[in-house]
Amino acid sequence: DAGKSGYDHYMLKEIHEQPTALRQCLRGRVDELTGTVTLEELDALESSSPVQFVACGTSYHAALFGATLLRDRGVPAQSFLASEYSTDRIPVDPSTLVVGVTQSGETADTMRALREANRAGAETVAVTNTVGSSAARECDHALYIRAGPEIGVAATKTFASQQVALTLLACRLSNGSCHGVIRALRDVPDQVQTVLDTSQATEIAAEYAESDAFFFIGRGYQYPVALEGALKLKEISYRHAEGFAAGELKHGPLALVTEETPVFALVTGDDEQARKTVSNVKEVEARDAPVVAVTDGRTDVERYADHVLEVPASNEIGAAVTANVQLQLLAYWVAHRLGRSIDKPRHLAKSVTVE
Ligand code: G6P
C-alpha cells in the first residue's frame, strides 16, 4: 500500500511522522529572540480565564496536559470529559473560555459540550486537526494543530501535536516570559527523532506481550501520559491496561500488582515529584512486579527497574511528549506481536458522531 510509505501500518508511519508534524505545528508561531508566541488564528480572542477544556479519548488526555500547563502558569483551568460536561452541569458563563480539543472536529460529545458553552455565552476555541470541521466552523476561533491526515484509528501524531499546540495556547493565554518554553519546544522534534531511532520498545513488547495486565503510573505532566499509554495499549492490543496517578497506586490498584503485571513508570526530571514516583516504583518492585522505567536518567529509578525506555533530558513538556512516543511504540509492538488489526481495532471508529 503506497500510502504507508513502506511501513506495515499507518500507525507506525504516523508515529514516525511526529518530528515533521511537530515542526509544522511550531512553524511561524514562535519567536525565540523575543520569547513570544503568535497564534494568528486567535488574534481576536478576548477572554483568557478561567479556561475549561472539553474533549474525549486521547484528546481528553491532551486536555489534561493543557490544563496542567495553564495552572502552572497561573491561569485557572480545568478539563472535562465532554460526555460528562453537560450531565454534570458545569457552571459556565460569558467570562469562561471553553476550549474543545478534537482531532476530527466532529466528535458528537465534544460538539454538544461546545454548543452548550456557546449558548451560555462563553467564548469558544476549537483545537483541531481538521480545517472546515464542525468544531472549526462553530467555535468562535479555531487553532489548527497541523499534524496532517491521520489514518490509523488510534491517535498518535495528533496527540503529540495537541500537546505542542496546547503549550503554545498556554503561552498565549498567560502573562510572563515564554523563553524557557520556546527553547524547550524547539528541541522537541529532534528529541522525538532520537527516541524513534533508539527505542527498545520492540524488545520490551516481546518480553511482556503475554502479560495478564499492564499498569502505567506518572505524576503531574506525566499523569496524562500514563492514561494515554494505557489507552493506546488497550485500543490496539486488547490487553488489559490501566493508567494511574502514581500516588493513587497505594490506594487500591496495588492489590492488582503481581509478578505477572508489568508496571511502566514515567519518571523524568529530578524534582520532588520524580522522587515520589521513585518511591512508588519501590513499592511495586517489592511486590515482585516487573518494572519498566521510562526515564531521562535523572533519578536513581533504574536501580529498581528491570528495563529502561530512555528519553532525552528535557523540561517537563519535552519529557511528556517523548515519554508518550515510547509508549506508542510499546503499544504498537505488543499489538504487532499479537497479530492484531492495528490500524482498524475492533469496535472502534476514528471519529464518533453519536453521543
Ligand atoms: C474516537 C477515537 C479516539 C479519539 C476520540 C476523540 O473514540 O477512536 O482515538 O481520541 O474519538 O476524537 P477527536 O477527533 O474528538 O479527537
Taking the C-alpha atoms of residue 347 and residue 133, their distance in angstroms, rounded to an integer, is 24
Choose among 256, 270, 257: nearest CA to 315: 270
Q: Which residue has the cell 511528556?
A: 320
Q: Is 128 in the pocket of ligand 1 (CB under 6 A)?
A: no
Taking 90 as the threshold, does the pLDDT of residue 19 lie above it?
A: yes
Residue bearing the CA closest to ligand 1, atom 8: 350
Q: Which three cell numbers stand for residue 106?
A: 466532529
pLDDT of 48: 76
**Residues with Cβ within 8 Å of residue 142, at least 6 apart in sequence:** 41, 125, 126, 127, 128, 131, 135, 136
In degrees, rounded to 5, the angle at the alpha carbon of residue 343 between the alpha carbons of residues 339 and 24 is 135
- pLDDT attached to residue 316: 95
d(CA 270, ligand 1 centre) in Å: 33
Protein residue with least CA distance to atom 4, ligand 1: 57
- pLDDT digit string (tens) for 36-52? 999 999 999 997 789 99
Please compute the mean of the pLDDT values over residues 108-114 and round it to a whole number: 97
- DSSP state, residue 306: S
Q: Which pLDDT score is estimated for 314?
A: 94
Helix (H) or strand (E) holding 284: helix 272-285
Q: Write the residue with the smallest CA distance to atom 2 of ligand 1.
A: 350
Structure confidence at residue 350 as a pLDDT band (50, 70, 90): very high
Distance 105 CA to ligand 1 centre (A): 9
CB atoms < 10 A from the CB of 346, how many? 9
What is the whole-number distance in angstroms between the Cα of residue 59 and the centre of ligand 1?
7
Amino acid 177: pLDDT? 85
Is 350 one of the catalytic residues? yes
The confidence band for 2, taking pLDDT boundaries of 50, 70 and 90, is: low
Q: Which of 4, 250, 344, 350 is catalytic?
A: 350
Determine if ligand 1 sits within 6 Å of the CB of residue 113. no
Q: Is the CB of 352 under 6 A from ligand 1?
A: yes
Pairing state between β 213-218 and 263-267: parallel
Distance from residue 176's CA to the centre of ligand 1 (Å): 33
Instruction: Please choose, from the candidates 15, 11, 13, the residue with its C-alpha nearest in 3D space to the C-alpha of residue 342.
Output: 11
- For the stretch 126-164, pLDDT in tens is 999 999 999 999 999 999 999 999 999 999 999 999 999
**DSSP letter at 252?**
T
**Residue 258 Cα, ligand 1 centroid: separation in angstroms?**
32
348 lines ligand 1 (CB under 6 A): yes
59 lines ligand 1 (CB under 6 A): yes
Q: Is the CB of 57 under 6 A from ligand 1?
A: yes
Q: Residue 87: what pLDDT?
A: 86
49 lines ligand 1 (CB under 6 A): no
Please report which confidence band the pLDDT of residue 93 belongs to, taking 50, 70 and 90 as the band edges: confident
Atom 11 (ligand 1) nearest CA: 351
Q: What is the mean pLDDT of the chain?
A: 96
Give the pLDDT band (50/70/90) at residue 1: low
Residues making up the chain, counted from first to last: 355
Burial status of residue 121 (CB atoms within 10 A of its CB: 0-12, 13-18, 19 or more): exposed
Q: What's the mean pLDDT in 62-69?
A: 98
Read off the pLDDT of each residue in 27-38 and give the average, rounded to a whole number. Answer: 94
Percentage of the chain modeled with pLDDT above 70: 99
Dist. CA 312–CA 227, nearest whole Å: 21
- The Cα 32–Cα 53 span in angstroms is 28
Strands 30-31 and 36-37: antiparallel
CB-ligand 1 contact for 344 (6 Å cutoff): no
- Mean pLDDT confidence for 93-105: 96
343 CA distance to ligand 1 middle (Å) = 14
